[in-house]
Structure 1
Amino acid sequence: MKKGKAIFGDMSGYKQQVCFLGLALMLFSCSPKRDGIISRTYNAVTAKYNILYNGHLAFEEGLEELNASYQDNFWELIEIEPLAFDTSISVLSEITSTNNPQAKSENKNATSFEKAEEKAVKAIQLHSINIDGTERNSQMDDAYLLLGKSRYYTQRFAPAIDAFNYILTTDPKANLRDETKIWRAKANIRLNNESFAIETLSLLLRDPSASTEIKEQAHTALAIAYQKKGNIQETIRQLNLATRTLKNVQQGQRNLFVLGQLYALQNQKDLAKKVFLKLVNFKKASYGFKIHAQIEIAKNESNNKAIAPLLLKFKKLLSDGTNQQFEGELYYQMALLEASRDSTELAIDYLKKSLQSKSMTAYHKTYSYEKLGDIEFKKANYLIAGKYYDSILKINKNIQDPRIRTINRKHKGLANLLQLEGVLQNNDSILNIVSMPKTAQRSFFEKHIAALKAADEQRVQQALNSSSFGNSSGGVSAAQPNSKGKWYFYNTQLVAFGKAAFEKQWGNRPLEDNWRISDKAQLNTDKSTNVKEEINKASYNLSTYMSRIPTNRAVIDSLRFYRNEALYETGIIYKEQFKNLSLAALRLERLISLKPDKDLILPSYYQLYQVYKELNHPKAETYKNEIIKNYPSSRYAEILTDNKGFISDNKDNDIESLYKDLYQLFKENYHREVVSQIDQLSPMLQESKLIAKFELLKAFAIGKYQTKEAYKKALEFVSKNYANLEEGIRAKELLKQLK
């Protein structure tokens, strides 16, 4: 028995050894360093259903976060790939560099994409079977693709390309090779390697085995590459090819929208409407894209008969409470539709509603302000237009933006105009009073004082009404016979009313002297007079106004001089900058009627000649003859009597070359030659945009060898005729320095 037990015990030990050896053999077979079927199966299954499964979940979560945070600006051309890269994104560089599988503790602060990268790295470190440079684990293409995409979305494009290249070089039979090529191309586009991306994607599209989904993705990536290269026609072609299938709904709707926008930018409105209509009818497209597609259809509508149905459609959309987030954009587009059929008042009304909408961001409101400004500008309401443009510049001060730069330039021109108009209005008013007889002056100011008193009385009454309490008459009444107390302060209800009314008007004031004045630092306690009453007494006194009427001849002449200057300069601005020839003619004609100084008469005649010539008005010939007859030796007469032809706009490059040559002569001190050549060229320069530069150069040359008076006269010519241009402003500054 003892012997049997010993034998049995030995047998148990043997079995344990066999089990141990079997287990060791199995673990050895599953090692990622061996290329057996057991190893490949075990590592593939473990990687797929454990680590990579969690990695894909994190990646999808990252995509959802990205899409939720990304806001398309439908007021401009949207991106084909909806990415807004954030330079603050952290990078788990230690994960990709470590060889320690235990470096797997998740960073709680990591983004979803970083978590996905962590899982991909872990799968690769634990389960990659790379034998002699060939990957044997069928799931590694998935792991490396996940690794590359995660790096792509954390802005690490070069490391992403390394991950994509691993699949393409080590696993020729990988199922995800085509998708990997597309992602590698996208990463190269981000690194400005568009040519390489285009080449590889074109090769992929030639592969007959490529699936429909792969071709759609490849055409989309090619569109991104060509757009970055600035090839709009090829971008349109690739988007057309990408939108044939629309397998990827999210990307497909975006491709359609960008395609429609590009057609619109190319002024191919019918094609744009066709594409946007396709998006509206795309059942799987999101509601937001469909609404914006309908807005884009309206933007590209040129048929007046279609405007009424579009307005009805938008009104119906606005009546639906679910469209509140699109309210501002819908009102704005309705305004554009009304403006296109000259319904200006309705357009203004809709634009104001768009500004009041909560769905409009501050940036988007600049479009409504701009349209309102343009409408008022067209109506010659320049003061109102200037205020709207000012509102835009308070919101957006980015002068690098071409649109904002244009608005800023227009706003500056308006600011200059409004300043001159202010001088004109002020001086006109004063000179008008100066020209009245004494009795008329007194009558004028008596009416002004009466109106002032009436306005002050009305303000006082309004203040009393707002602070009144007690009875309905607005005054503080005594307690009624049935009240608890006959005196006001015995009635607690009236006291409560009184406190409320006091706090409403004065706020919570401490019990102290001069409690009415909130800023005691400005109070001079030594003065017991009521400043407000003193001001009122002065404003009600006729002598206050009569004493301020100018009587000194020099002062009155100065008012006339600056009034006339303002008339001339506003006339030039209306003519040159705002192209409002009618207003320009009115200003200059009025100036002539006022018989200004001689130095304004001749340039005004010449400006009126140019205005009426452009208007094809017979007065052009009248002013031309006036200049030639009465000022035959003037510079203007020389221009008008010389019959040499004009240089057309298409020869501006030649004119610029001439200017450079003359400027070089000026620098070499050939001043007489410069003046002589400009005089010879002058008749041919009248239609050139560079004429002001030539005239200023001539003035500088004259200043080098002629008298000071001749130099001043040349500068005056530039300042008067090109007052709105940089050269005119420079000449005016130099004249001030000379004086």
Structure 2
Amino acid sequence: MKQLPKIVVLTIISIIAYSCSVKKDAFLNRNFHALTTKYNVLFNGEQAFLKGLEEVRNKHQDNYWERLQIEPITFDDRKIVAPALQPGSGFDLSTAEEEDENRNLTKFDKAEEKAVKAIQKHSMNIKGYEKNRQIDDAYLLLGKSRYYTQRFIPAIESFNYIIANYPKANLIYDTKIWRAKTNVRLDNEKLAIESMKLLLELDKNEKTLTDLQREKAHTALAMAYEKTDTIQKVIEHLAKSTETFTDKEQAARNMFILGQVYSELNRKDSAAMVFKKLADYKKAPYKYRIRANVELAKNVENDTASLVVLYRLKKLIKNTDNRKFLNALYYQAGVLEEARDSIDDAVGYYKKSLAAKNNTDYQKTFAFERLGNIAFNKADYIDAGSYYDSVLQVVPKEYTNLKRIRRIKRKSKGLATLKKYEDTVTYNDSVLGLVAMTKDERGAFFEKYIEKIKKEDEELRQLALNTQNFGSSFGGGSSFNASNRGKWYFYNTQSIGFGKAEFEKVWGTRKLEDNWRISDKSTNSQDQNEEEVEASTEKVNKKYQLATYLDAIPTEKKEIDALVEEKNEALYQLGLIYKEQFKNNERAIANLERLSKEKTDNKLELPINYHLYQLYERENDKNKSDYSKNIIVTKYPKSTFAQIILNPKKKIDESKKEDEDYLKYKEFYYLYKENKFQEVVNEIDKYSLSGADSNLIPKFALLKALAIGKYQDKDTYKKALDFVALSYANTVEGKKAQEIIKRLEKNKK
């Protein structure tokens, strides 16, 4: 009896040793390895795979302003390196985990390692047949892990091995679907389509696919057809993949994408129907239902249906569970209100969208753009420019080359130029207004201004003192800031900052030393006393002294004339910008008419009247257009502008004439290069250009001006350049002429 325990132990060890063999096709061996594979190695591998899949889903960020990806994966651009997997690592899981950590494997790498371990240690391939029923699962896990680490060729090999060696496995259909998806990633769409069509054709007769597998097959086909841009097939298979709604996450996603496709094709009714169905389907994930309501609002017609959708959005906005979707809900409510001409309500919603939490920079670009467009349509160009600038500041780098963003960039640039000229006119008007005042009027004006800023500064000082006292009453500021604890002055950082600013305002920057009030300590005590008196007088801030402002007013005629000329140039440029870029005839006319009344010389008379003539024609103001026309044809009958007005219906072969103009321009240019400057001027004056639409007119004008500069005096040269700069201000030649004028003026100084 004493030997019995030893016999039992030896028997158990013998059984285990016998069953561990992968070369013996026995009941005990097969079940031992199957159970060990499933509940030990594969279990850990599948858990790692599921965690990796969760990380992928969390990492992926959908942009609902674009068509969603059918499979929500954001692959890294980094190079994928296959982990070095060593066979025979044993069953010690703690040791295996340590090795995993040392190699810094991803979750998918760990899943792959477990799959490889299962195959290497537990495969029972006996006489060409696999006896371990879990090995096909290991190969599938191996292929899926490689798929998510972007190693698609090795993944295909794993799937092909299953299909070739386990044709009757219960996961054979899943494997074929995974292989099709992998082929799509490898740009083998035709192969993927053929395999999935074959699978679905066979299923029609045998009915062997489950609802989930059928959904996945149609999803894979939609992915493949999307790659080939066969949009009708994409619609067909997305619709079929949503019929059973077994995989709620993917089915809801497919339905959402189906609605987006309809919307892109401008099939608004179909899109609205799909989005409404998804929004009302309670089994769908909540994020897709909310987003479906937003998309429904995008696809609704501007009629009574829009009121119903707007009501839905407002109801969703009131629900506190939807806080993380408020940016999109507010924005779309604003779009609907704007479509109903409720502009104030729309602006309010757009601003709420911008202020909402969980916002994205790309979402913000749309709200800023809408606000900019509203301001622009109201002719509030300064605010519009600010909103467009905000779009450019927040737009993510990957979207900077979009056509929409490039258009906003051009618009913003034009508005920035407009603001520059508007600011110039405003500033110069204010300075010239002060110049026109009498001495007493200036004194009274600035005394009133000084009183105003004194009052404002006193209010700010009192506010700072109140802040200081508030902080002191609580022990020197916030109890959470260690540097502010205590009631002593120097424990309060706010008080220190205020005191330092006040000190420097009165005394400037002084060294920490004896007699710090005295700037020069080399003088005698009498001088020191005098300097102390002077220092006390310095306590009066210069911005409170009347002389500071009176001395800044220009008195020299040259300075005043420069201000007038700069203002006139700004008015002219404003007229052109409003006329050509923004098509605002009213403001263009206002600036040009003002310039026409205030101009001090006649160099602008011709271009001003030509632009006014065109603007009055647009506005059907016959009397004023005739007035400007008479000035041009009477005073400047030989000008190009006069010829254009007198011969508006001249019939010419535009393309042929343009070619002739170009050849003539080349001819005159060669004369210029041969230093025949006077001949260039004479020939250009004699040559008749093709008309108002010729792109070469500014080129001829600039070439003539440059030729004049080579043999005539500087004043004549400058007048010729002025004509080009003012007449063709928005062309390359006009800007070039302006640059030359600036250089001439600089050299003159």
What residue in structure 1 maps to residue 302 of structure 2?
303
Q: Which structure 2 residues correspond to residues 710-725 of structure 1 after superposition, within 5 A?
A: 719-721=725-727, 723-724=729-730
What residue in structure 1 maps to residue 492 of structure 2?
503
2:48 to 32, 50, 58: 58
1:642 to 637, 647, 652: 647
2:745 is aligned with 1:736: no
What residue in structure 1 maps to residue 83 of structure 2?
93
Cα deviation for residue 520 of structure 1 reads: 5.1
2:638 is aligned with 1:633: yes
Q: Per the alignment, do residues 278 and 18 of structure 1 end up closer, same or farther by CA in structure 2, a change over 3 Å counting?
A: closer
What residue in structure 1 maps to residue 67 of structure 2?
77
Cα deviation for residue 429 of structure 1 reads: 1.1
What residue in structure 2 maps to residue 224 of structure 1?
223
1:67 to 32, 54, 57: 57
For 1:656 and 1:169, locate their aligned partners in 2 and report how far apart those are by CA, in whole Å. Answer: 73
For 1:733, the aligned partner's letter is E
Cα deviation for residue 277 of structure 1 reads: 0.7
Cα deviation for residue 449 of structure 1 reads: 3.6
| 8 A contact 1:467–1:502 mirrored in 2 | no
Cα deviation for residue 718 of structure 1 reads: 5.6
Q: Secondary structure at the match of 1:261?
A: helix
Per-residue CA deviations over 1:527-570 (Å, capped at 9, x if unaligned) read: 55798975856444444444443332222211111101111112
For 2:588 and 2:238, locate their aligned partners in 1 and report how far apart those are by CA, in whole Å. Answer: 50
What residue in structure 1 maps to residue 282 of structure 2?
283
2:590 is aligned with 1:601: no
Per-residue CA deviations over 1:397-416 (Å, capped at 9, x if unaligned) read: 62334444333333322222
For 1:645 and 1:406, locate their aligned partners in 2 and report how far apart those are by CA, in whole Å. Answer: 36
| 8 A contact 1:116–1:150 mirrored in 2 | yes
Unaligned residue ranges in structure 1 (runs of 5+): 1-12, 471-495
| 8 A contact 2:468–2:495 mirrored in 1 | no
For 2:690 and 2:630, locate their aligned partners in 1 and report how far apart those are by CA, in whole Å. Answer: 20
Cα deviation for residue 423 of structure 1 reads: 0.9
The farther-off stretch of 718-727 and 602-611 is 718-727
Cα deviation for residue 584 of structure 1 reads: 1.8
Q: Which structure 2 residues correspond to residues 14-163 of structure 1 after superposition, within 5 A?
A: 30-31=22-23, 47-87=37-77, 91-95=81-85, 98=86, 100=88, 102=90, 105-106=96-97, 107-108=100-101, 109-128=104-123, 139-163=134-158
What residue in structure 1 maps to residue 184 of structure 2?
189
| 8 A contact 1:695–1:718 mirrored in 2 | no
| 8 A contact 1:469–1:498 mirrored in 2 | no
For 1:370 and 1:127, locate their aligned partners in 2 and report how far apart those are by CA, in whole Å. Answer: 62
For 1:217 and 1:120, locate their aligned partners in 2 and report how far apart those are by CA, in whole Å. Answer: 23
What residue in structure 2 maps to residue 167 of structure 1?
162
Q: Per the alignment, do residues 158 and 392 of structure 1 end up closer, same or farther by CA in structure 2, a change over 3 Å counting?
A: same
| 8 A contact 2:507–2:538 mirrored in 1 | no
Q: Secondary structure at the match of 1:94?
A: coil
For 1:18 and 1:502, locate their aligned partners in 2 and report how far apart those are by CA, in whole Å. Answer: 83
What residue in structure 2 maps to residue 424 of structure 1?
425
What residue in structure 2 maps to residue 4 of structure 1?
none
Q: Per the alignment, do residues 308 and 129 of structure 1 end up closer, same or farther by CA in structure 2, a change over 3 Å counting?
A: same
Cα deviation for residue 59 of structure 1 reads: 2.0
For 2:67, the aligned partner's letter is L
What residue in structure 1 maps to residue 482 of structure 2?
none
What residue in structure 1 maps to residue 567 of structure 2?
563
Q: Secondary structure at the match of 1:447?
A: helix
Q: Per the alignment, do residues 416 and 171 of structure 1 end up closer, same or farther by CA in structure 2, a change over 3 Å counting?
A: same
Per-residue CA deviations over 1:510-529 (Å, capped at 9, x if unaligned) read: 99x96999995689853557
Q: Secondary structure at the match of 2:84?
A: helix
Cα deviation for residue 65 of structure 1 reads: 2.9
Per-residue CA deviations over 1:188-223 (Å, capped at 9, x if unaligned) read: 333344444344444444443573544432332333
For 1:63, the aligned partner's letter is L
What residue in structure 2 maps to residue 475 of structure 1?
none
What residue in structure 2 maps to residue 487 of structure 1?
none
Per-residue CA deviations over 1:216-255 (Å, capped at 9, x if unaligned) read: 3233233333434555555444423433333321111111
Q: Which structure 2 residues correspond to residues 298-697 of structure 1 after superposition, within 5 A?
A: 298-396=297-395, 398=397, 399-462=400-463, 499=488, 503=492, 506-507=495-496, 525-527=517-519, 534=538, 538-618=542-622, 619-620=624-625, 622-643=627-648, 669=670, 682-683=690-691, 685=693, 691=695, 694-695=696-697, 697=699
Cα deviation for residue 153 of structure 1 reads: 0.9
For 1:659 and 1:285, locate their aligned partners in 2 and report how far apart those are by CA, in whole Å. Answer: 69
For 1:256, the aligned partner's letter is M
For 1:243, the aligned partner's letter is T
Q: Per the alignment, do residues 18 and 543 of structure 1 end up closer, same or farther by CA in structure 2, a change over 3 Å counting?
A: closer
Q: Secondary structure at the match of 2:603?
A: helix
For 2:687 and 2:188, locate their aligned partners in 1 and report how far apart those are by CA, in whole Å. Answer: 55
For 1:732, the aligned partner's letter is Q
Q: Per the alignment, do residues 134 and 23 of structure 1 end up closer, same or farther by CA in structure 2, a change over 3 Å counting?
A: closer
Cα deviation for residue 286 of structure 1 reads: 1.0
For 2:663 and 2:236, locate their aligned partners in 1 and report how far apart those are by CA, in whole Å. Answer: 49
For 2:121 and 2:343, locate their aligned partners in 1 and report how far apart those are by CA, in whole Å. Answer: 71
Per-residue CA deviations over 1:37-60 (Å, capped at 9, x if unaligned) read: 997777656544543343333322
The farther-off stretch of 541-550 and 563-572 is 541-550
Q: Per the alignment, do residues 122 and 696 of structure 1 end up closer, same or farther by CA in structure 2, a change over 3 Å counting?
A: farther
Unaligned residue ranges in structure 2 (runs of 5+): 1-6, 472-484, 520-531, 673-679
Cα deviation for residue 187 of structure 1 reads: 2.3
Cα deviation for residue 661 of structure 1 reads: 7.7
For 1:530 and 1:502, locate their aligned partners in 2 and report how far apart those are by CA, in whole Å. Answer: 33
For 2:314, the aligned partner's letter is K
Q: Which structure 2 residues correspond to residues 235-254 of structure 1 after superposition, within 5 A?
A: 235-254=234-253
For 1:23 and 1:572, locate their aligned partners in 2 and report how far apart those are by CA, in whole Å. Answer: 95
For 1:218 and 1:659, locate their aligned partners in 2 and report how far apart those are by CA, in whole Å. Answer: 65
Q: Per the alignment, do residues 629 and 130 of structure 1 end up closer, same or farther by CA in structure 2, a change over 3 Å counting?
A: farther
For 2:87 and 2:663, locate their aligned partners in 1 and report how far apart those are by CA, in whole Å. Answer: 72
For 1:141 and 1:416, locate their aligned partners in 2 and report how far apart those are by CA, in whole Å. Answer: 69
Q: TM-score, normalised by structure 2?
A: 0.77
For 1:284, the aligned partner's letter is K
Q: TM-score, normalised by structure 1?
A: 0.78
Per-residue CA deviations over 1:255-289 (Å, capped at 9, x if unaligned) read: 12122223333333222211111111223211111
Cα deviation for residue 725 of structure 1 reads: 5.5
| 8 A contact 1:647–1:685 mirrored in 2 | no
For 2:175, the aligned partner's letter is T
For 1:405, the aligned partner's letter is R
Query: Sequence identity of aligned pairs in percent?
Result: 43
Q: Per the alignment, do residues 602 and 74 of structure 1 end up closer, same or farther by CA in structure 2, a change over 3 Å counting?
A: same
For 1:529 and 1:344, locate their aligned partners in 2 and report how far apart those are by CA, in whole Å. Answer: 63
| 8 A contact 2:506–2:541 mirrored in 1 | no
Q: Per the alignment, do residues 554 and 233 of structure 1 end up closer, same or farther by CA in structure 2, a change over 3 Å counting?
A: farther
What residue in structure 1 maps to residue 474 of structure 2?
none
